[in-house]
Amino acid sequence: MPRENYRRITRGDNPREPTASCSRSPSVSVIIPARDEARSIGNLISKIEESLSKHPHEIVVIDDGSTDKTSEIALSNDEVGVLF
């Protein structure tokens, strides 16, 4: 995925801005702490999306210095924000 498509959240950004599937403020926020979880993060995000599909929600992955592709995989979903 091209780098310009990444939704990167840094301190000072507003991660609560509604995303495409969440046209109003989310009623559920899911925060996922992750480090080197490339093998499982995509499946986890898919299951969360499936479970919350009928509710306004947001998913934020907190990447704690991963050396694998954890952030890239999380960011491949347009509905996920990643805090580095």
Q: What is the pLDDT of residue 70?
A: 96
Name the strand (E) or helix (H) holding 34.
strand 28-34
**What single-letter amino acid sits at 73?**
I
Name the strand (E) or helix (H) holding 58.
strand 57-63
Summarised one tens digit per residue, pLDDT across range 33-83 is 999 999 999 999 999 999 999 999 999 999 999 999 999 999 999 889 998
Which domains does the chain show, CATH number per domain? 3-83 (3.90.550.10)
Instruction: Please indicate whether residue 21 or residue 40 has the higher confidence score (pLDDT).
Output: 40
- In whole angstroms, give the CA distance from residue 17 to residue 70: 23
Q: What is the pLDDT of residue 44?
A: 97
- In whole angstroms, give the CA distance from residue 31 to residue 71: 14
Q: What is the pLDDT of residue 5?
A: 39
